[in-house]
């Protein structure tokens, strides 16, 4: 793979856009170029009216081995200030993290649902990306690890928020602090994974689920994501948001179509209007 080759691939099938991390020679390790491309691709997908759902996956039979440690700013020896030999310093490190924060915000709070298709490894920032998706499909050969602590780093890319949301506080602490590798069945039992497939079938299954979400009414899905991204809300905040949002949705063309389809016993055709 050459330096000019895209680190992130995009493919559309009807209203589902598949976004593929494409650095298979490094098990889809995420460097700063990949972060930039992911942020741009996700922003475009969230703004594209023709896209109703996304699938996020990795090339070459693995999701992502995490951040590219070889390119991270670091000290040469114990006691040396971070960034002294990394060529970037604290400002460069902060810029890297802020780019990844943009990626996670698109996944968590963007208006389009995102389904992760996981084969192979989802380690470190790869696991963080998985946890930020709305629905996770994993093959039985998938392996997950919060590997940050193994190299002396704090979990980033939103894992300290997304993991407790998915698996609860106790299980999140176990994953974050022990940095153990877990398989797909254990991840499913914890709630990190929603559906387990046979090896090689995760992308197909994720595509099917994304297609179902693409057929759903997009306005309430977008609002659901926006509200859950601000969780925990108080009961008063939730009820107030319900009143204001539901009143708008009752006046929408999609609700008129949905109600008509229900009464006519047919599948609705939602347009996001």
**DSSP codes of every residue in 182-251:** EEHHHHHHHTS-SEEE-TT-HHHHHHHHHHHHHHS-HHHHHHHHHHHTTPSPPHHHHHHHHHHHHHHHHT
pLDDT at 160 over 70: yes
Same domain, 169 and 64: yes
| pLDDT grade for 21, boundaries at 50, 70 and 90 | very high
- pLDDT per residue over 92-130, tens digit each? 667 777 889 999 999 999 999 999 999 999 999 999 999
Q: Greater confidence, 265 or 122? A: 122
Residue % of the chain over a pLDDT of 70: 90
Give Dmax over CA atoms of the chain in angstroms: 72
The stretch 225-249 carries a mean pLDDT of 87
The number of folded domains in the chain is 2
272 assigned to some structural domain: no
Half-sphere CA count of 263, side-chain side, radius 13 A: 6
2 assigned to some structural domain: no
User: In whole numbers, what is the pLDDT of the chain averaged over residues?
Assistant: 90
The stretch 28-34 carries a mean pLDDT of 93
Q: Say if CB 147 and CB 175 are below 8 A apart.
A: no
- The CB density around residue 12, as the number of other CB atoms within 10 Å, is 12
Same domain, 107 and 222: no
pLDDT reported for residue 81: 47
Same domain, 87 and 187: yes
pLDDT at 72 over 80: no
């Amino acid at each position: 793979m050459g330096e000019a080759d895209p680190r992130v691939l995009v493919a559309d099938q009807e209203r589902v856009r598949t976004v593929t991390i494409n650095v298979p020679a490094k098990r889809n390790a995420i460097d700063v170029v990949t972060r930039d491309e992911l942020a741009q691709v996700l922003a475009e997908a969230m703004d594209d009216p023709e896209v109703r759902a996304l699938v996020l996956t990795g090339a070459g039979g693995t999701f992502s081995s995490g951040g590219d440690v070889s390119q991270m700013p670091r000290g040469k020896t114990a006691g040396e200030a971070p960034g002294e030999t990394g060529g970037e310093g604290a400002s460069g490190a902060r810029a890297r993290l802020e780019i990844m924060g943009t990626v996670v915000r698109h996944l968590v709070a963007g208006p389009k649902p995102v389904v992760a298709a996981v084969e192979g490894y989802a380690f470190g920032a790869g696991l963080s990306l998985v946890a930020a998706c709305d629905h996770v499909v994993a093959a039985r050969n998938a392996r997950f690890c919060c590997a940050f602590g193994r190299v002396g780093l704090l979990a980033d890319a939103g894992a300290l928020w997304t993991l407790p949301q998915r698996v609860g506080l106790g299980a999140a602490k176990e994953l974050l602090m022990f940095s153990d590798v877990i398989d797909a069945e254990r991840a499913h039992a914890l709630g990190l994974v929603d559906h387990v497939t046979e090896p090689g079938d995760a992308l197909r299954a994720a595509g099917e689920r994304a297609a179902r979400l693409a057929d759903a009414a997009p306005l309430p899905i977008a609002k659901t994501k926006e509200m859950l991204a601000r969780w925990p809300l108080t009961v008063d905040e939730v009820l107030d948001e319900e009143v204001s949002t539901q009143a708008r949705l009752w006046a929408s063309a999609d609700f008129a179509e949905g109600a008509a389809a229900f009464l006519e016993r047919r599948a609705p055709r939602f347009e996001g209007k």
